[in-house]
Chain A
Amino acid sequence: MKDFIIPPLDDRDMGTPARTGEAVTLTIDGFEVKVPEGTSVMRAAAEVGISVPKLCASDNLEAFGSCRLCAVEIEGRRGTPASCTTPVAAGMVVDTQSAKVRKLRKGVMELYISDHPLDCLTCSANGDCELQDMAGAVGLRDVRYTAPEGGGLANHFTARDTSGQANPEWLPKDDSNPYFTYDPSKCIVCSRCVRACEEVQGTFALTITGRGFDSRVSAGDSSADFLTSDCVSCGACVQACPTATLQEKSVIEMGTPDRSVVTTCAYCGVGCNFKAEMQGDQVVRMVPYKHGKANRGHSCVKGRFAYGYAKHKDRILNPMIRDTIDQPWREVSWDEALSFAANRMRGLQDTYGKKSVGVITSSRCTNEETYLVQKLTRAVFGNNNTDTCARVCHSPTGYGLGQTFGASAGTQDFDSVEHTDVAIVIGANPTDGHPVFASRLKKRLRAGAKLIVIDPRRIDLVKSAHVEAAHHLPLKPGTNVAVVTALAHVIVTEGLMDEDFIRDRCDWDEFQTYADFVSAPRHSPEAIELLTNVPAAELRAAARTFAAGGNGAIYYGLGVTEHSQGSTTVMAIANLAMLTGNIGRKGVGVNPLRGQNNVQGSCDMGSFPHELPGYRHVKNTDVRDVFKEAWGVEIDPEPGLRIPNMLDAAVDGTFKGLYCQGEDILQSDPDTKHVAAGLAAMECVIVHDLFLNETANYAHVFLPGSTFLEKDGTFTNAERRINRVRRVMAPRNGYADWEVTQLLANAMGAEWAYTHPSQIMDEIAATTPSFAGVDYALLEEKGSVQWPCNEDRPEGTPLMHVDGFVRGKGRFIVTEYVATDEKTGPRFPLLLTTGRILSQYNVGAQTRRTDNVVWHEEDLLEIHPHDAENRGLKDGDWVRLASRSGETTLRATVTDKVSPGVVYTTFHHPDTQANVITTDYSDWATNCPEYKVTAVQVGASNGPTDWQEDYAEQAARARRILPAAE
């Protein structure tokens, strides 16, 4: 019971998880109740509003039966069974309030309190403590246990006894974790934290050590503290703790919150809902929202704790301008900054033509903001020069799934995983990149589902606590198409495909062509073994497991898309799903794990240069007419420039001005030197961001941005789920991002007059068929909806392609493997692939400005012991990492997680600039960069490269800010 919160919805804890099954009728305290078979007596009681006292039960954990407070009496049964562990039975007559159980509860509470410090008034859980609540609920008025003379009363909360002797049962507080503390003296050993770590998060970092009175919660063995343990700081234990034992440091410092607002996390594409718990406009803590449909009450270290960047000192709160990038910044008023920017952009267009300027929309900003930015270029600049960071991550997903299925998005919701029997995870590392989804997948794996991992690295899912992949195919980077096509080869040649599904749902002629293609011996596992390094027998076994294993779901990430054949792999995956009939129901599907919170939304909103909102090509007159009608301007029928084209054009001198909202292309895009050259060649770069990011080093105008806490809007997650983002505090910079874009547009002569993002959503709905039914009222009512949401599907679409593919018949597309031009050789014998780590996010602009840095202070290069030995490298050595594009230095970590011949690093830190190394190769269809394959050499080094030193110097110079003019 969290009595200080006014819940927006009923988020009472029902005690035990919901069940499904035949209805059973029973009587509790004279009230008749009908619940599904398998429901606990406790939950059944809660259904009729009767709260049986409890401490160890929670409805996100299986019943445990340890606290014994929830005892009830049942007619015809002996004793006082625990209501949490007793399932209902038809006709059962339960008494939750008999004199016997009332006395028992009081007796148990008396024992609890006899081992608990009575410092409630100064306790950090004061007002938020279930132990306190239960002591009240059972009417405990006296604790009669006292010490015998000459002896002590055994307890865990006094450091020393009355004679000054140290109490061996007392343990000091562990505050090693930056976000929460573990105070053993407050612990009631209910095991909720341990169970949450196991059942919800699936990390198994916590345990109970000792037995009897010595039972203690412990993060691993007794020598480990929380920080050095396996704990991933997801917060599930803190949330589960009924007392002050595991407590957010922010609550300890600030006190209990007085209100809460449900909003959506601004990190990865899982799109977790959180309750921002507030005091006034101060966030006390972020708590995962129980009714969040993507996260179902779970969270990771980023969403749960890493929101402090909003108040970081580096945050820029005032607009700034400068004439040239070698000058220091000058803080100016919004008016001055906007007119400076507007004049420059208009001037550039006057001089160099209408198409000499463009925009980059942000996958971190809201749908409404993204919509306005592309509207800015289309309606105000008068061209289609808009692109987004999806270009560098999931553009092949949009293309590949659009071609095969007819819709550029994942087919499922996250709940679907609960029905999966065999999952393929390819080119994704969910435990780090999409942790909350990973926890949901691991839960299903622990329940018996099988897992096939296709990844060059031995990611944690391959083998971790109580999870082990049935097959791991450690392919050579760049050979996805060969491997996935070989899986299809096995399925087709061994007759394992779902012919009924194919005949019914797909184009049979195209399938015939495809089947002929894929059956060719050159696609057999044996034929590609040398090329991919994947043992043929293992690949065959994996194919059989997937084809014959029941509901098969494929989850993939940027390890699929960020390749020269990224789009081809997406299509190969789609083929595999159609081949095995794994589309159109729960538990199956093709599921791209989106990198950023709103990358799906930014694509939906028309961020691409060739597509208007809703993936409709600009060449189509009817589509342009819709927007002409709405915006009152002609839409350019020619597609605009993609990001790489903008940069090329800038170097060529034809592209001169850029408005870049919420993206750091200099750090995140490939071939940093080329990006830098392109930016340097522009005459007006407007960066709209929270911080002076790397791109801002080349900017002339800096417009301060707002965080997700400071604005209203919507994010669309990887499930196509449109989630509400709600303003919990005023923008520290003065304006929400949509307001800034509107101000800029109006400074350039537009006459936009939006007063709330809901009006922007109304415009989106009016112009975009898949959003036709969406408005803020519906989102308030439903919490969230998944597009398409329109007349046909007024409540949205959890599963796509249920009765037929969006495009009609599913289309098999031939997927010939073509090796990337990026090849290893004597100069660059190793393959570099890149990825993400749990505690950091993308370029790290946010997470590096939080305490998450304790887990990842710098990017490290993973290298196999053989390769390290050959080069005389040891763990922790500085190494030089070089490709034909450039070189950088970082420290090495020697691990067999990577195969020999493969090295791996993250790109979270600008000091490393991993993208100095990556090349300009890209996906043939979408230009998505080939981040995941770069031929490199690694050698010993003394420290930073010249490039890094030059860069650091330039960055420092570019970030100078003059004091504001008085």
Chain B
Amino acid sequence: MKVYVPMDSAAKALGADDVMEALIKAAAESGQTVEIIRTGTRGMIWLEPLVEVETGGVRLGFGPAIPEDAATILDGTNAKALGPVDELDWMKRQTRLTFARVGVIDPLSLDDYRAHGGLSGLRRALGLTGQEIVDEVKASGLRGRGGAGFPTGIKWQTVHDAGAPQKYIVCNADEGDSGTFADRMIMEGDPFTLIEGMTIAGLGVGATKGYVYLRSEYPDAIKVMRRAVDIARASGVLGADVLGSGCAFDMEIRVGAGAYVCGEETSLLNSLEGKRGVVRAKPPLPALEGFLGRPTVVNNVISLATVPVIFEKGAQHYADFGLGRSRGTVTLQIAGNVARGGLFETAFGISLGDVVNDLGGGSASGRPVKAVQVGGPLGAYMPVSKFDAALGYEELDAEGGLLGHAGLVVFDDTADMLGMARFAMEFCAVESCGKCTPCRIGAVRGVETIDRIAQGDADALPLLTDLCETMKDGSLCALGGFTPLPVMSAVTHFPGDFARSKEAAE
């Protein structure tokens, strides 16, 4: 009997390891031969630990499991039986392209990976010229999933066209946004897809060396990625002769040191070079003068991990999904005060309200939803009145929002939006690299000014508005530049939370 238990760190945090041990024990006691396979997560975090038992080629789910469920799971009598996992509503409604294998395969089995379509994109890319590879990515409409949404193919084209003795592919795996976890999930659940994507990128632009800049807060992902790189190298996927093609590409996993700002691409490059993680002014673009001053593709994990499926199924297949200029799928990460949190991959265009209320099932507390922060700590707080907004880069922007890395954090009506605005400023103050003045001093003044608003100081709100304008127009990078977005969205959509009178404060 094959039993699948996730080794994703979210599942582990919810007790997956204990459940696995209980399963082994129960199997021994009942004399059953059980093969336990560790997988990534299916993304339904409210069901974790989600144990799957393969019966007649069908994987039946049980969850959320606790160790005491082990025996009944194995004999099929457990009351938490969910039926075939693929048939669950959450799974059926998704379009899993990037995450197709996550939760399904053993992340570190290259055979499993191959059996589920892995490496076919790379094999196809090996038959193309660099320019053809870049053209394919352009045709797919893939845009940077890290948050900026810059067309990936155009970035690759710049690096492709740059003449240099050495070019690099750098994967930004410094996933620091609150409420986001897609990068981690795919690195823990399907690491070879990232390796394959980076290799295709290398072939496309003429880079022979790649780095994954992975945050230190992800020890499991670091372990899995390092092991996967070793396996890929040993199997000839990486190295001087990629899949026997004569083309070279190799990569390393580098671990960050805990600075949020190192998720900003130029800080990341500085950190990767061993320097202080401060933002570099652009130009020069990293595509022309990036890692060690050489042309460098810096892409988010999801962008790169989506490349294999584009080459496997063709750019058009990918581009056929989506809305407007947002092509393909979005990997939504639903978190916060929400009944059903997790990862949901779907074509761009789903409405915010559908995600929060339908998929997420409203707040976990059962109280009315007040706001959703979309796009991480630098994203806007979207009120319920904006729930019709479609999730696409331009569509959300038109509503004053920011799709970012597609993380959604849900708040119920007990949330104090002045407190959330203060938190946004405080976050910026704590994480600022300190290079540019609007962010370095402005964020600290922002906290103080919001405190004055809380005390009912009538002069403080116009000052906060001016400060946000200075930070937005003057900051060197998105940290200082976008902090005004959550602050001002809170001020704009929830004016009541900011209308404190002196007496009330005292």
Contacts and interface: CB of A to CB of B under 8 A. Distances in A.
Contact of A85 (B283, B429, B442, B470): B283
B36 interface: no
A64 interface: yes
Given A86-B283, A104-B470, A213-B444, A112 B437 contact: yes
Interface string A198-235: 00000000011011111100000000000000000000
Nearest to B441: A111
Contact of B434 (A107, A146, A153, A213): A213
A144 B459 contact: yes
B452 A212 contact: no
A87 B448 contact: no
Interface stretch (A65-73, A281-289, A908-916): A65-73
A66 B459 CA distance: 29
B440 A212 contact: yes
Contacts of B440: 189, 212-213, 215
The interface centre, meaning the residue of B283, B451, B473 with most chain A CB atoms within 10 A of its CB, is B473
B449 A145 contact: yes
A102 to B, nearest CB: 12
Interface string A68-80: 1001000000011
A145 B447 CA distance: 11
Interface string B427-441: 001111111111111
Contacts of A66: 281, 435-437, 476
Interface stretch (B193-201, B349-357, B386-394, B461-469): B461-469
Contacts of A149: 452, 455
B237 interface: no
A112 B445 CA distance: 11
Interface in A174-212: 188-189, 191, 207-208, 210-212
Nearest to B450: A148
Nearest to A62: B281
A95 interface: no
A659 B205 CA distance: 74
A82 B438 CA distance: 13
Nearest to B454: A148
B457 interface: yes
B256 to A, nearest CB: 14
A515 interface: no
A100 B473 contact: yes
B interface: dominant SS: helix
A147 interface: yes
A115 interface: yes
A79 B473 contact: yes
A151 interface: yes
Interface residues of A, number: 44
A80 B278 CA distance: 20
B445 A114 contact: yes
B357 to A, nearest CB: 35
Contact of A111 (B430, B452, B470): B470
Contacts of B452: 146, 148-149
Contacts of B449: 145, 148
Interface string B409-435: 000000000000000000001111111
A748 interface: no
A147 B463 CA distance: 13
B92 interface: no
A148 B429 contact: no
A420 B467 CA distance: 49
Contacts of A144: 459, 463
B436 A111 contact: no
B276 interface: yes
Contact of B463 (A71, A80, A145, A212): A145
A189 B437 CA distance: 9
Contacts of B432: 211-213
B434 A215 contact: yes
Contacts of A80: 473-474
The interface centre, meaning the residue of A107, A144, A212 with most chain B CB atoms within 10 A of its CB, is A212
Contact of B448 (A63, A85, A147): A147
Nearest to B282: A85
B448 A151 contact: yes
B448 A154 contact: yes
Contacts of B283: 85-87
A211 B278 CA distance: 9
A189 B459 contact: no
Contacts of A940: none
A320 B431 CA distance: 70
A108 interface: yes
Contacts of B457: 148
Given A68-B475, A107-B467, A153-B448, A115 B441 contact: yes
B443 interface: yes
Contacts of B439: 212
Given A68-B476, A146-B452, A212-B430, A107 B443 contact: no
A107 B466 contact: yes
B439 to A, nearest CB: 8
A144 B261 CA distance: 29
Contact of A112 (B281, B434, B441, B476): B441
Given A67-B437, A107-B469, A111-B438, A207 B282 contact: no
A325 to B, nearest CB: 62
B259 interface: yes
Contacts of A104: 469-470, 473-474
B448 A148 contact: yes
A68 B438 contact: yes
Contacts of B433: 211-212, 215
Interface string B28-60: 000000000000000000000000000000000
Nearest to B445: A145
Interface string B265-290: 00000000000101001110000000
Contacts of A68: 436-438, 474-476
Contacts of A146: 452
Interface in A224-250: none
Interface string A150-171: 0101100000000000000000
A104 to B, nearest CB: 5
Contacts of B282: 85
A212 B445 CA distance: 12
Contacts of A86: 283
The interface centre, meaning the residue of A71, A86, A146 with most chain B CB atoms within 10 A of its CB, is A146
Contacts of A191: 435
Contacts of A100: 473
Nearest to A55: B437
B63 to A, nearest CB: 42
Interface string A672-688: 00000000000000000
A395 B350 CA distance: 85
A65 B476 contact: yes
B470 A107 contact: yes
Contacts of B473: 71, 79-80, 100, 104
Nearest to A211: B434
23 contacts: A63-B281, A64-B281, A65-B436, A66-B436, A66-B437, A85-B283, A107-B470, A107-B474, A108-B474, A111-B437, A111-B441, A112-B437, A114-B445, A145-B463, A146-B452, A148-B454, A189-B434, A207-B276, A208-B278, A210-B434, A211-B259, A213-B444, A215-B434
Interface of A: 63-68, 71, 79-80, 82, 84-87, 100, 103-104, 107-108, 110-112, 114-115, 144-149, 151, 153-154, 188-189, 191, 207-208, 210-215
Interface of B: 259, 261, 276, 278, 281-283, 429-445, 448-449, 451-452, 454-455, 457, 459, 463, 466-467, 469-470, 473-476
Given A212-B443, A213-B440, 17 more contacts: A63-B281, A66-B436, A67-B436, A68-B474, A80-B473, A104-B469, A104-B470, A111-B441, A115-B441, A148-B457, A153-B448, A154-B444, A188-B437, A210-B434, A211-B261, A211-B278, A215-B434
Q: Which 6 A-B pairs give the minimum distances between C-beta atoms? A: A65-B281, A215-B434, A107-B470, A212-B432, A148-B451, A85-B281
